[in-house]
Amino acid sequence: MTSALTLTRTTIGQKVVVAVTGLILFGFVIGHFLGNLILFVGPEAFIDYGWTLKHNPPLLWGTRITLLVAVVTHIGLTMSLARRNASARPSRYKKAREDQVTSYAARTMVISGPLLAGYILFHIAHFTAPGLAFGGAEFDHVNIYANVVSSFNVWWVAAIYVFANAMLGLHLFHGAWSALQSVGAQHPRYDSIRRNLAIGLAVMVAGGNMMIPLAVRGGLVGDAEQLRAAAEHAEELRAEAGMLTGDHDDVSGEELE
Amino acid sequence: MSDDTIDLKLFVWRQEGPDAPGDFQDYSKYAKGVSTHASFLEMLDLVNERMSADGERPIVFDHDCREGICGCCGAVINGIPHGPQKQTTTCQLHMRQFENGAEIYVEPFRAGAFPIVKDLMVDRSSFDDIIQAGGFISVRTGSAPDANEIPIPKESADASMDAATCIGCGACVAACPNASASLFTAAKLAHLNMLPQGQAERYKRTRLMIQAHDDAGFGGCTNHRECEAACPKGISTDFIARANRDLLVATVTGKDGRLV
Amino acid sequence: MTLKSNAPTGDIEKRWDKHRFDMKLVNPANKRKFDVIVVGTGLAGASAAATMAELGYNIKAFCYQDSPRRAHSIAAQGGINAAKNYQNDGDSVYRLFYDTVKGGDFRSRESNVYRLAQVSVNIIDQAVAQGVPFAREYGGLLANRSFGGAQVSRTFYAKGQTGQQLLLGAYSALSKMIAAGKVEMYTRHEMLELIVEDGRARGIVVRDLNTGKLEAHTADAVCLCTGGYGNVFYLSTNAKGCNVTASWRAHKQGAYFANPCYTQIHPTCIPPSGDYQSKLTLMSESLRNDGRVWVPKDPKDATKDPTSISEKDRDYYLERRYPAFGNLVPRDIASRAAKKACDDGFGVGPMVGGKRTGVYLDFADAIKRESKERILEKYGNLFEMYERITGDDPCETPMRIYPASHYTMGGLWVDYNLMSNVDGLFVLGEANFSDHGANRLGASALMQGLSDGYFVISYSMGNYLARVGKNDIKADSSAAKGAVKAVEKRISDLIEIGQKGSTHPDEFHRKLGTLMYDYCGMSRNADGLKKALEEIPTLREQFWDDVQILGSGTELNMMLEKAGRVADFLELAELMCHDALDRDESCGAHFREEHVREDGEAKRNDEDYTYVAAWEHSGDHANPKLHKESLEFEYVKLSQRSYK
């Protein structure tokens, strides 16, 4: 622990921690993305996926706690570094300093970061915590398929997700490349591979995630038949689990009748 | 070789001292008929001589060897440290790189750790502080073994040389959006850490020099690689990754008792 | 005063060992009681400061740059000699000694040179241990090259930046001792006076260049490691800040100046391109291995595209005059031949000061013979440097080169212990006169600076301090106060004249430089020297009447700094001409046109001039007084060199 504390005493040490927490978050984002893709397999599979996660408390809470710690550390140290970096040049260049090689992604990390933080809060509120629902439909803790479809039928919700994922892509690209540099996992021979890998993963995750709202808006996902299948499957699951009381009172109440 | 001359629109930063206010002054009238074969500093010499003939105080700028090796000179020219030509110090930049009528803004390297001494001259003693923290191999005069006692693979010697070629001018700091001296520090670390002779103090050196870097008030690295682009010797940011790695090892294994 | 070299006698191989044994030692516990001042932080200064601090002495080190790492030793490109014989090609300490004495044209002290050759091997060990990344072979052992026409490969190098790497090594050792609190480092401080009390050097007066504040620093001994005076020629390969002021102040305080006329000119520099030219850039001499030197036979072709001039209209003058060595004749011969070609009106390139000062160095044949790739492999970085400065690509059009002042063999007189005739004033590196005689071999400057700093001063300083013992002098003693007053007066005089004056200090410097290149440059004659001795005082008078200095003495003032340095160059220049006139022979880099062999080579006069000319300052308006230290050659037989 003392070592870990020491690590945060230097800017490089702080960067290493930012990088490691970033890589943890990156790992989660990839996992999350793969989970999202199940949506395209079909309503049943997607609902099963959500059901499984939800009924595995160690996994669920383990992940949540890890993510919380990672996010808080990532943001906290980044802010401290950003403050420090800003104060390292108290008088600015009067004729603007000209960037020669840095990327748009790198320069906008300080913008994409806070935007993503806001987006994450929105996303959690939207799909998990209090279960805000958009588009008139009721929020359903089992039928997450319906949640997704009804939300993205609201144009501005879809727009937020598309935009946020573009930000995510930029953040991931510079983050992944940069994190490896920060922890020293670097060798000239593999430099281009590292860069291409970062670009590839970022495009894959961001692009894949964006496909979901776009697919809903485009009618590829969430037609009436699929929604019916989703609703039926959700009922089956509830019945199977004997979840007649439980976390979804309204529905269970109806069923009792 | 032709005898072309150009007229410039020249604006130079003037500042009396570290805390005095500063501003760009228009010296275009002194920057006419400049030979394209003159170096940038010779252009400033010429402007200075013409200014003093008018009784105006000459522009203060640091310079010495004028062959790109001492690391004294350096100014930010149109937003780029050492100007537009790649891998070229200000003293080696020649006026043929500019068009007739070009607008040129010259200002000092700006960083909290490089206080302005006067006009374009800055105080870079923070670099010396970083070296003093550990940028050496402790070997008393006379205690060295025979030079060929330890064979060093050519690749290691060459890589070390690539890092050691740093001239300590500070352009990396000037170019960095965070005014970080990571490239300077990492280059010195790599120079010594990549050689067998440097192993004994490797992790201690890494930790102490990086600590000294931070203590001097430089920013941290956020991997923009602007330093590499501005470096007149083209030193690679790969060395920064290497320094990071060494710091990580030093911290995790606690090979130096001082900070753990 | 008689000059005592204090050089040991007897078997030359054992002299240094014997001398070391004979020297007094300072008790380890007493070393920390002694203070030593080191001025200059180049190879000699940084290594001396670090080494003496390691021994326990308290060091105050001074440099005018903003960091000790920027001293001009950093610009040395080629390499450093050492008699390691790693190549098994017949090198030895004795051979390096022999080559150096012969290269110096028999005007150096055998004992000193032998010691230099001896410790050369330790320098390489020391530098490698410090982490100097010398070039290596694939097997991991050190690589060598032959340099400057040497018959053996004894030169160690780190790309084309050997001086930089060696200086960074010495600077790192110095930094360590600064961190340890044993060295107090004063950057951006210029030495302006030597404090002498009871015949002993006891300190210096420095000016803080950032604030203009004058300070007296006192100590038990002073080491000047302030480099050479090549900038007396205005255009030289030296850094712009290089100056003679520290040495000259010491000279005026009584230290003898030895052999000031021995100045080395380097043949392959990039010629001036206009009147604004501020310095000249040296390119490695290795270029002459493949380049052919020529000028057009007809001066009218000077402005023609050189590639369009046919073979029969070119004069490959080195190949014509020296068929055996051709383009590879020694530095001084190549330099003089180039100057002659340009003086005779055959120069090429732009008109600068009414003359075309350049000759072609042509790689067309080498490219045809070996391919462009091969040539670029060898000289790529030099070609790039040339193109950056001139805008011409040497693969397409011949390079233009011209000789430039590069190194000064002369300097303050020192004995075998590196101490001048002023007690307690030591002089190291290029600032002293000791080891190179009338000419310096390539890759020997770095060797001498480090030899003095790492391996000689550590012993001789102890010997001196043990002899004189500890007795304090305060910074407010009358000698120190007097010295500060003298500097104050000098500065206020300059400022007073400078406020009314109208001529920029650089303008005087340029005029002096032209004069010196013409009359006391790579070839000299009695008439020219006499003329220079008339013109220099006139120029000096004009300077003290009309030099322009804006601003005051109590602030950062680069015009004042410059004027002070030019003022000293104006005095030194006169001494150089006196020395060149007195030395009525040709030797090494000192070429008197009156003394030429039938084959056009320098003709020494060993009977009358086998001595070191050590000049004593005898007042501002009096002729300097000559003291002679005669030189004995017991080991290397006096002979004339021949490169025909």
C292-296 and C359-362 strand pairing: antiparallel
Residue C455 is classified by DSSP as: I
User: Given pLDDT bands bounded at 50, 70 and 90, which one contains residue A137?
Assistant: low
Decide if B258 is inside a domain: no
Cα–Cα dist C367/B237, whole Å: 36
Percent of all residues in chain C with a pLDDT value above 70, rounded to a whole number: 99
For the cut 60, the answer to whether the pLDDT of residue A1 exceeds it is no
Nearest chain B residue (CA) to A94: B107
User: Given pLDDT bands bounded at 50, 70 and 90, which one contains residue C644?
Assistant: low
| Final residue before a domain boundary, out of B91, B117, B143 | B117
Minimum mean pLDDT range among A22-31, A143-152, B150-159, B191-200: A143-152
Decide if B260 is inside a domain: no
C266-405 fold: Flavocytochrome C3; Chain A, domain 1 (3.90.700)
Give every CB contact of residue B9 below 8 A, 6+ residues apart in sequence: B26, B28, B31, B101, B102, B103, B104
User: Given pLDDT bands bounded at 50, 70 and 90, which one contains residue B256?
Assistant: low
- Residue B166: HSE in the Cβ half-sphere, 13 Å Cα cutoff: 33
Decide if B137 is inside a domain: yes
Number of domains in chain B: 2
Residue A213 has a pLDDT of 94
| Cβ contact, residue pair A11, B219, below 8 Å | yes
Q: Could you tell me if B145 lies within 8 Å of chain C, comparing CB atoms?
A: yes
List, for residues C99-118, the tens digit of each pLDDT value.
999 999 999 999 999 999 99
Query: Domain containing B180 — which CATH number?
Result: 1.10.1060.10
B135 and B225, same structural domain? yes
Nearest chain B residue (CA) to C385: B92
Position C239, amino acid: A
For the cut 60, the answer to whether the pLDDT of residue C523 exceeds it is yes
| Cβ contact, residue pair C140, B152, below 8 Å | yes
Q: Could you tell me if B80 lies within 8 Å of chain C, comparing CB atoms?
A: no
Whole-Å CA distances, C291 to B233, C131, C285, C338, C590: 27, 35, 10, 14, 26
Q: Which residues in chain C are closer than 8 Å to B82, comparing Cβ atoms?
A: none
H helices present in chain B, as ranges: 40-53, 125-134, 154-164, 171-175, 182-193, 202-215, 226-230, 238-253
User: Given pLDDT bands bounded at 50, 70 and 90, which one contains residue B103?
Assistant: very high
Cα–Cα dist B147/B164, whole Å: 19
For the cut 60, the answer to whether the pLDDT of residue C132 exceeds it is yes
- Residue C339: HSE in the Cβ half-sphere, 13 Å Cα cutoff: 21
Coil/strand/helix, residue B81: strand
Residue A131 has a pLDDT of 60
H helices present in B14-87, as ranges: 40-53
CA C424 to chain centre: 23
| Cβ contact, residue pair B245, A183, below 8 Å | yes
**Cα separation of the two ends of chain C:** 43
Range of the domain at B189: 124-253
Task: Provide the token pair at C458.
Answer: 């550590």
Whether there are 3 or more C-beta pairs closer than 8 Å between B and C is yes
Q: Could you tell me if C142 lies within 8 Å of chain B, comparing CB atoms?
A: yes
For the cut 90, the answer to whether the pLDDT of residue A138 exceeds it is no
Looking at domain A2-85+108-248, its CATH architecture is Up-down Bundle (1.20)
Residue B260 has a pLDDT of 39
Whole-Å CA distances, C92 to A122, C82, C95, C149: 80, 9, 5, 17
For the cut 70, the answer to whether the pLDDT of residue A106 exceeds it is yes
Question: What is the rounded average pLDDT of the residues C514-532?
Answer: 96
The residues in B 22-41 lying below 8 A from C, measured between CB atoms, are: 35-39, 41
Q: Could you tell me if B103 lies within 8 Å of chain C, comparing CB atoms?
A: no
C34-264+407-468 fold: FAD/NAD(P)-binding domain (3.50.50)
B132 and B108, same structural domain? no
List, for residues B59-94, the tens digit of each pLDDT value.
999 999 999 999 999 999 999 999 999 999 999 999
Distance from CA of B131 to the nearest CA of A (A): 17
Nearest chain A residue (CA) to B257: A3
CA B227 to chain centre: 9
Domain ranges of chain C: 34-264+407-468, 266-405, 485-630
Q: Could you tell me if C54 lies within 8 Å of chain B, comparing CB atoms?
A: yes
Residue C160 has a pLDDT of 87
Answer for the pair C252, C297: CB distance below 8 angstroms, yes or no: no
| Average pLDDT over all residues of chain A | 87
| Cβ contact, residue pair A100, B229, below 8 Å | yes
Which among A88, A97, A180 has CB closest to B217? A88
For the cut 60, the answer to whether the pLDDT of residue C33 exceeds it is yes
Please classify residue C228 by burial: count the beta carbons closer than 10 Å to its beta carbon, then call 0-12 exposed, 13-18 middle and 19+ buried: buried
Nearest chain C residue (CA) to B143: C126
For the cut 70, the answer to whether the pLDDT of residue A134 exceeds it is no
Task: Provide the token pair at A111.
Answer: 């913008």
- The continuous run of DSSP H or E covering A7 comes out as helix A2-7
Residue A245 has a pLDDT of 44
Question: What is the rounded average pLDDT of the residues B186-209?
Answer: 96
Whether there are 3 or more C-beta pairs closer than 8 Å between B and A is yes
Neighbours of chain C (3+ CB pairs under 8 A): B
Decide if B259 is inside a domain: no
For the cut 70, the answer to whether the pLDDT of residue C634 exceeds it is yes
Residue B3 has a pLDDT of 58
Q: Could you tell me if B29 lies within 8 Å of chain A, comparing CB atoms?
A: no
B49 and B169, same structural domain? no
Domain ranges of chain A: 2-85+108-248
| Final residue before a domain boundary, out of B65, B83, B117 | B117
| Cβ contact, residue pair B221, A100, below 8 Å | no
Nearest chain B residue (CA) to C175: B132
B143 and B56, same structural domain? no
| Cβ contact, residue pair A100, B13, below 8 Å | no
Cα–Cα dist A31/C486, whole Å: 80
Residue C598 has a pLDDT of 78
List, for residues C441-482, the tens digit of each pLDDT value.
889 999 999 999 999 999 999 999 999 999 889 888 999 999
Distance from CA of B235 to the nearest CA of A (A): 13
Which among B207, B230, B259 has CB closest to A100? B230
Answer for the pair C549, C557: CB distance below 8 angstroms, yes or no: yes
Choose among A148, A154, A141, A145: nearest CA to A226.
A145
Which residue bears the tokens 């310079």? Answer: B63
Minimum mean pLDDT range among A76-85, A137-146, B36-45: A137-146
Q: Which residues in chain B are closer than 8 Å to C137, comparing Cβ atoms?
A: 154
Helices and strands in chain B: count of H runs, count of E runs: 8, 9
Please classify residue B34 by burial: count the beta carbons closer than 10 Å to its beta carbon, then call 0-12 exposed, 13-18 middle and 19+ buried: buried
Cα–Cα dist A75/A94, whole Å: 30
For the cut 70, the answer to whether the pLDDT of residue C68 exceeds it is yes
- The continuous run of DSSP H or E covering A243 comes out as none
The residues in B 201-230 lying below 8 A from C, measured between CB atoms, are: none
Which residue bears the tokens 């020099």? Answer: B209
For the cut 50, the answer to whether the pLDDT of residue B257 exceeds it is no
Q: Which residues in chain B are closer than 8 Å to A3, comparing Cβ atoms?
A: 251-252, 254, 260
CA C496 to chain centre: 33
Cα–Cα dist B43/C276, whole Å: 8
C467 assigned to active site: no
- The continuous run of DSSP H or E covering B121 comes out as strand B121-122
B130 and B109, same structural domain? no
Q: Could you tell me if C506 lies within 8 Å of chain B, comparing CB atoms?
A: yes
Phi, psi of B15 (to 5 degrees): -150, 125
Answer for the pair C220, C465: CB distance below 8 angstroms, yes or no: yes
Decide if B232 is inside a domain: yes
| Cβ contact, residue pair A85, B222, below 8 Å | yes
Which residue bears the tokens 């150009």? Answer: B6
Answer for the pair A85, B180: CB distance below 8 angstroms, yes or no: yes
For the cut 50, the answer to whether the pLDDT of residue C558 exceeds it is yes
Distance from CA of B112 to the nearest CA of C (A): 17
Question: What is the rounded average pLDDT of the residues A217-234?
Answer: 92
B175 and B113, same structural domain? no
User: Given pLDDT bands bounded at 50, 70 and 90, which one contains residue A243?
Assistant: low
| Average pLDDT over all residues of chain C | 95
List, for residues C243-278, the tens digit of each pLDDT value.
999 999 999 999 999 999 999 999 999 999 998 999
Cα–Cα dist A184/B238, whole Å: 9
Question: What is the rounded average pLDDT of the residues C212-230?
Answer: 97
Q: Which of C249, C331, C524, C604 is catalytic?
A: C331
Q: Which residues in chain C are closer than 8 Å to B55, comparing Cβ atoms?
A: 550
Nearest chain C residue (CA) to B205: C176
Percent of all residues in chain C with a pLDDT value above 90, rounded to a whole number: 89
| Cβ contact, residue pair B69, C176, below 8 Å | no
Task: Provide the token pair at C162.
Answer: 């050997």
Nearest chain B residue (CA) to C167: B70
List, for residues A150-168, the tens digit of each pLDDT value.
889 889 999 999 999 999 9
Q: Could you tell me if C125 lies within 8 Å of chain B, comparing CB atoms?
A: yes
List, for residues C43-62, the tens digit of each pLDDT value.
999 999 999 999 999 999 99
| Other CB atoms within 10 A of residue C643 CB | 14
For the cut 50, the answer to whether the pLDDT of residue C541 exceeds it is yes
| Average pLDDT over all residues of chain B | 94
Task: Provide the token pair at C609.
Answer: 């001039």
The residues in B 49-78 lying below 8 A from C, measured between CB atoms, are: 49, 52-53, 55-58, 60, 62-67, 69-72
Give every CB contact of residue C45 below 8 A, 6+ residues apart in sequence: C38, C39, C61, C63, C68, C71, C223, C225, C226, C428, C429, C453
Question: What is the rounded average pLDDT of the residues C547-561?
Answer: 97
| Final residue before a domain boundary, out of B71, B92, B117 | B117
Give every CB contact of residue B155 below 8 A, 6+ residues apart in sequence: none
Looking at domain C485-630, its CATH architecture is Up-down Bundle (1.20)
Answer for the pair C421, C89: CB distance below 8 angstroms, yes or no: no
List, for residues C494-507, the tens digit of each pLDDT value.
999 999 999 999 99
Burial of C52-84, coded b for 16+ CB within 10 Å and e otherwise, reads bbbbbbbbbbbbbbbbbbbbbbbbbbbbbbbbb
Whether there are 3 or more C-beta pairs closer than 8 Å between A and C is no
Answer for the pair B205, B255: CB distance below 8 angstroms, yes or no: no
Return left, alpha or beta for C6; rule: phi > 0 is left, psi -120 to 50 is alpha, else beta. left
Residue C29 has a pLDDT of 94
The DSSP result for B192-246, as a single string, is: HHTSGGGSTTHHHHHHHHHHHHHHTT-B---S--HHHHH-TT---THHHHHHHHH
Please list the helix, strand and coil fractions of chain C in percent, rounded to the nearest 5, in that order.
Answer: 45, 15, 40
Choose among B139, B245, B129: nearest CA to B200.
B139
